[in-house]
Structures are given as C-alpha cells and as structure tokens.
C-alpha cells in the first residue's frame, strides 16, 4: 500500500509539472519607437512613453556617462578601477571580476557594451562617482539633460529594481546621442567580440547584426519583468534609423519585430534631408553648494572694547626734529624781510649832500670774508626770530651781512627813478627813511616787456637719432595656389583625438626633416580621428608614406 501511494504521488507531480510547462508565460508589456536619426523625427510609435523596465539597455546610459568622463579628462581609457565586493557579487551576465582586482577602464567598457556584464557596469559606476547610489543620481540628472523625461535609474546594470524605469522613446533618444556625441566610441557597439582583459567576450547582439544589412548597434537587454528588449541602429545609403523594442517574447521574436519596423520605416523617409544634430547636454553633474551654518555667539556679535584700547600700544618714539619744530611754532611770527631792511637802514651811514648811494657800486668783499658773513647771517636770523625788542642790536648784527653782499646792477628802466631819488636834499632835513628805496613805479609790470605768445606747434621727437625719411615699401610675397604643396598624408584612424595628437607630435619630433615644415591636423570623421600632415609636395608626401610604411605605420597620400 505504501509503495502504491508513493508511486501515485510521483505521477501526480509529473502531470502537474507538464501542465505548468504547457501554460504560456505572462508576456511583458510591449512598446516600440522608430525615429529618423538625422532629424530626430518619429516614424513609428506604440506605447512609446509607457514607463517599463529597460533591463540591460540601462548600460547605454552607463557607457554614455563613462564616455563623457573620458572627454572631460576625469579618467582615461587606461585608468584602473578597483572591483568592489558588491560589483564582484552581481548576478550574471558577468565578466568574472574578483573583489580587490584592478582592471583598466577600456576592458570594462568592452565587457559592458558587448557582453552586457553586470559586474563591469557596477565597477564603472563606482569608479566614476565613488558609489553606485551617487552614480545613479548622476545618470538620472544626465537623462533630464538629454530630454529623457520619463527615465529614472537605480543601478548601473539594469536588473529589475523598484523605481528603475525608462521608455522606448527615451532609449531611442539616448541611442541617437551615443551616435552623434561620441562617434569615436560608437564602433564599440558593432563588434561581434572583443578582448575584455581577462577573457574574450562575444556580443549579445551578434544575431541581429549578422542578420540585418546595415545594422551597426546598439544594445540588447533581458529580464523576466522586462522581456526581450533591443535598441538598434541601421543605415541604408544616406538614411539612418534608430529604433527600440520593449517586451519581446524571445530573441527571435524581438529581432523579427525590429526587422519589420526598420524595413517599413526606411521606405517612409526621404533619401536626402537636412541633418539636425542633437544638442549636447547642458548639465553633466549637479553642482551642490554647501553653506556653513555658524551659531551666533557674543564673540561674533558683540564688540570687545578692551581689545581696542589705545593705551595698550606703546607710544611712538619722539624724533629730535619734533623739539625744534615745536620751538619754531612757539616763537613769535616775524617778517624776516622787514627785519633785514631795518637792520640795513640803521647800519648804513648817512650819505653826504650831493652823493647818491643808489648810483654808486658797493665794493667787493675781501677774500676770506664769506665765512664771517655767513655766520653773521645765521646770527641775524636767529636774533630776528628770537626777539624783536632790540632794534639797535639787530642793526649791528645785520651790518656785516649787508656789507659782505654784492649789490645788483641797476636796470636801465630804473635810471629815471633812481635819478629822481638821487636828487640832493637840504642839509637841515635828515632823511627819515633809507635813500636806497626805489620809487613806487620802479617795479611796475607795465614797464616790462610782454612775453612772446606760446607756440602751439607740437614737435614729435623720435627715440634715439630719429628717422624722418619715408618708410620703406613692404614687399608682399604670395604663394600661388598651384605651387605644388597641396598634398597631405593620413596616418590611419584612432578612437580619441588625444591619441592622434600624440602620434603627430611623436613623428614630428622623430622625423623633423620630413615633417618639420608640415602642418599637423586631426580630422574628426565618423569612423574616428585621422592624424594628418599637410602642406606637402607630392614627392615629399610619397617619400614620407614610404618611410612610415616601412615602420608598419599606416599611411596614405591625399591630394587636397
């Protein structure tokens, strides 16, 4: 009985399992969006603004943030990122990173874009922002700057998390920005396999890339909640489309729906149209300004008079000149000119009748009398300043001064005035004032000659000797357009402009005889950055290419 019961139970479990396997799984919501990549205009839409789980399409934003950091100079492709334990423990798909391992950013980008490795995406986010939470905030801010208004990110890899969502429209917009903003990295999405440092990885999108002609990207995604998602880009002639499909039931179903959408949309857009490139994002990382909060305290809000007391500082040292200036200021104010005049009038003897002192010349002082005269001047000045109560003493001191000074020769215009003053007077009337005083009209300005008017002519003087000759004519040398130096050499294509610039600089330094006079230029093309040497002749360009090719350096001669 026991054996029969056990067998019956096993049979019931088997029937139930078969019944459950036969039931169709609940399909994820479907959404689709197709746009003309050249203009950004929509071609087809279905639930395009419905917020759904993007799955690994999230890694498109992770890669966009990494490319932006490289272009800003925050990191480089060879920068090494340390793998955290959180990143190493992410569920598959994964590259197989170990906690504490250091790996270059270039390998992380390949693993995230081609294999869709979750551990690589988390390592990128933590390495750029310090933590995955900070990185997801920056991802959401970047989405707003790109116009992805219905997207919000909670992780860097896209596994299902509450509050993590996007739309078919937003992912198509992001794919268009990846194509236009970073053409030097866009070829990463068309690779079927790549070296990820620790392993060779294969593309999760290789089936669609191989099956659809003109497809060159971009990214696949899958979770149970999201279904099979795909953002694809394809080109036919001058036309390019970017489309997104959410909620496919399988890889084959998703690829088939994408093929039908692209085929029908290519026939609905013109072959030639004016290209309208998307605007670059206005915001990369939100700037946070923190203000220091300082509580009010008496020390900060009230004055401290005891710190401003002047008595606390030593008084300045008194200079010796201060005493002399004080004495001079305290002395009575005396007119020195009047004192000297009174001294001369007292010391000068009265002239006999008929003799005019104004017409006689004073004899020259004897040799050696200059020093006593200078001493007498100092004594007279000191006496005049100190006191004006003894006019007789001042006269006796000022007499030697007047005797030692030379009298100036009279002016011709003063002859009439001097003659009028020099007339003899009666002997009974002594002169109360000195006879050497001139008449009031002697110093009249009307009798002086008027100065010549000032010339308004400006004379410009040159530095040094000066050169007034006419400047020499400049000879303009023009090189004809057909001079022959209209050839260039192209040295291949590179993924970054910095790498191309380094190659040009290195070759210019190594081969100065070849590229010394050449013009260095980096051409930004859709396939990458092309370093070029221009302004060469045809023979010079061919010789340079032959030498470069002998060193295994790609080189091509271009006619401008």
Which string of DSSP letters, residue by residue, matches 214-283?
TEEEEEEEEETTTEEEEEEEEEETTEEEEEEEEEESSHHHHHHHHHHHHHHHHTTS-SS----PPPPPS-
Nearest to 34 by CA among 225, 217, 233: 233
Q: Would you give the DSSP letter of residue 101?
A: -
Which string of DSSP letters, residue by residue, matches 16-67?
HHHHHHHSPPPPPPPEEEEEETTT--EEEEESTT--B--GGGHHHHHHHHHH
Whole-number Cα distances in Å, 211 to 141, 176, 185, 438: 36, 22, 23, 126
For the chain, the farthest-separated pair of C-alpha atoms sits apart, in whole angstroms, at: 184
User: Does residue 116 have an active-site annotation?
Assistant: yes
Q: What are phi and psi of 219, to 5 degrees?
A: -155, 145
User: Does residue 333 have an active-site annotation?
Assistant: no
What the block records as the tokens of 412 is: 């011709």
Q: Are 66 and 128 in contact (CB under 8 A)?
A: yes
Q: Are 229 and 14 in contact (CB under 8 A)?
A: no
Bridge partners (DSSP) of residue 456 are: none
Tell me if residue 425 falls in helix, strand or coil: coil
Our separate counts of H helices and E strands in the chain read 19, 13
Q: What are phi and psi of 12, to 5 degrees?
A: -65, -40
Catalytic entry in 56, 265, 417, 488:
56
User: Does residue 250 have an active-site annotation?
Assistant: no
Catalytic entry in 48, 116, 233, 265:
116
Task: Compute the CA torsion angle 544, 545, 549, 554 (nearest 10 deg).
Answer: 120
- Distance between CA atoms of residues 522 and 501, nearest Å: 7
Active site residues: 56, 59, 116
């Amino acid at each position: 009985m026991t054996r029969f019961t056990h067998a019956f139970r096993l049979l019931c479990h088997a029937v139930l399992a078969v019944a459950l396997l036969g039931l169709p799984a609940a399909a994820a919501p479907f959404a689709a969006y197709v746009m003309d990549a050249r203009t950004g205009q929509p071609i087809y839409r279905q639930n395009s603004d419905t917020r759904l789980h993007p799955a690994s399409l999230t890694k498109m934003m992770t890669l966009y943030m990494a490319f932006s950091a490289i272009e800003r100079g925050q990191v480089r492709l060879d920068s090494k990122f340390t793998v955290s334990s959180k990143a190493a423990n992410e569920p598959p798909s994964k590259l197989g990173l170990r906690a504490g391992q250091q790996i270059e950013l270039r390998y992380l980008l390949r693993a995230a874009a081609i294999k869709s490795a979750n551990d690589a995406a988390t390592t990128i986010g933590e390495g750029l922002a310090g933590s995955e939470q900070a990185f997801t905030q920056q991802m959401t801010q970047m989405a707003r700057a790109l116009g992805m208004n219905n997207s919000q990110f909670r992780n860097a890899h896209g596994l299902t998390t509450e509050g993590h969502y996007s739309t078919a429209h937003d992912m198509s917009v992001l794919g268009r920005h990846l194509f236009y903003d970073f053409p030097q990295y866009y070829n990463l999405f068309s690779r079927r396999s790549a070296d990820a440092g620790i392993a060779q990885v294969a593309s999760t999108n290789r089936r669609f890339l191989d099956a659809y002609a003109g497809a060159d990207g971009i990214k696949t995604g899958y979770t149970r909640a999201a279904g099979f998602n795909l953002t694809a880009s394809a080109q036919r002639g001058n036309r390019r489309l970017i489309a997104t499909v959410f909620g496919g039931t399988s890889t084959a179903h998703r690829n088939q729906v994408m093929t039908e959408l692209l085929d029908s949309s290519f026939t609905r857009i013109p072959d030639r149209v004016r290209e309208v490139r998307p605007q670059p994002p206005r915001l990369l990382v939100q700037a946070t300004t923190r203000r220091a909060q300082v509580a009010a305290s008496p020390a900060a809000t009230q004055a401290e008079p005891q710190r401003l007391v002047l008595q606390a500082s030593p008084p300045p040292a008194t200079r010796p000149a201060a005493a002399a200036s004080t004495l001079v200021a305290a002395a009575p104010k005396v007119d020195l000119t009047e004192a000297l005049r009174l001294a001369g009038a007292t010391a000068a003897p009265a002239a006999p009748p008929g003799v005019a002192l104004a017409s006689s010349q004073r004899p020259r002082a004897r040799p050696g009398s200059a020093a006593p005269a200078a001493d007498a001047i100092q004594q007279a000045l000191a006496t005049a300043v100190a006191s004006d109560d003894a006019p007789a003493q001042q006269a006796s001191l000022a007499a030697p001064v007047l005797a030692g000074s030379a009298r100036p020769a009279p002016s011709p215009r003063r002859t009439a005035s001097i003659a009028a003053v020099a007339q003899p007077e009666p002997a009974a009337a002594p002169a109360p004032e000195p006879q050497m005083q001139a008449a009031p009209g002697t110093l009249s300005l009307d009798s002086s000659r008027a100065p010549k008017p000032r010339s308004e002519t400006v004379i410009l003087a040159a530095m040094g000797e000066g050169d007034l000759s006419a400047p020499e004519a400049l000879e303009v040398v023009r090189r004809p357009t057909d001079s022959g130096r209209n050839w260039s050499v192209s040295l291949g294509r590179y993924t970054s402009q910095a790498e191309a610039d380094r190659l040009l600089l290195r070759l210019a330094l190594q081969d100065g005889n070849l590229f010394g006079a050449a013009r260095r230029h980096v051409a930004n093309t859709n396939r990458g950055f092309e370093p070029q040497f221009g302004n060469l002749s045809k023979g010079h360009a061919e010789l340079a290419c032959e030498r470069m090719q002998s060193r295994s350096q790609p080189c091509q001669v271009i006619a401008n």
